[in-house]
Amino acid sequence: MSDALTFLRTFVSQPVKVGAIAPSSRYLAEQMVLSVDWSSARSIVEYGPGTGVFTQRISECLQPGSKFFAIEQSAELAKRTRNRCPDVHVHCDSVANVESLCRQEGIEQVDAILCGLPWAAFPESLQHECFDAMLRVLKPGGQFATFAYWQGVFLPAGQRFSKLLRSTFSEVKRSPTVWRNLPPAFVYRCRL
């Protein structure tokens, strides 16, 4: 319950940065991790861990010797994720700075990025800034997973984001709908 209250409080104070009224469910987290080939992924970054639901599940999937860190812009949510997953480096920063954060973590190229950011709530310029930074670190053939809420898919911002994915990645698929999430969502599974 404290995760939900923290998330709701952060949403009220920063709705564009958070984008939802409740943290993601463990069912959505499971769909997210199914998007990655864990047998070959050795360098993984998480964007926007929120309360750490995805972070915890990602940590359980890591192979020995893998490098993993998360980037969360909200100091309160970053603290919540660190408390939930004390072995994970959580940087309180913008994903636009992923390149310098990868250098700090000793990562040259990233195999997979799992993302909980509210892309459809971002202005187009911010979407492009974050995507440009991501493309500088994601290796050829790299995997990117993010989710969308069904109610936003048909809005202009959701349509714009879907087009951005399809113009950026060679492969874009959708997971089955996760009904046990507030609100219901699906995962975009993408590969460069």
Distances (CA, A) of 107 to 20, 83, 140, 146: 31, 24, 15, 21
Q: Which helix (H) or strand (E) holds 48?
A: none
pTM above 0.95, yes or no: no
- Partners of residue 12 on adjacent β-strands: none
pLDDT tens digits, one per residue of 5-56: 444 444 444 444 444 446 789 999 999 999 999 999 999 999 999 999 999 9
Contacts of 174 (CB under 8 A, 6+ apart): 186, 187, 188, 189
CB atoms within 10 A of CB 86: 8
pLDDT band at residue 179 using 50, 70 and 90 as cut-offs: very high
- Per-domain boundaries in the chain: 2-191
Largest pairwise CA distance in the chain: 42
CATH of 2-191, one of 3.30.565.10, 1.10.1200.10, 3.40.50.300, 3.40.50.150: 3.40.50.150
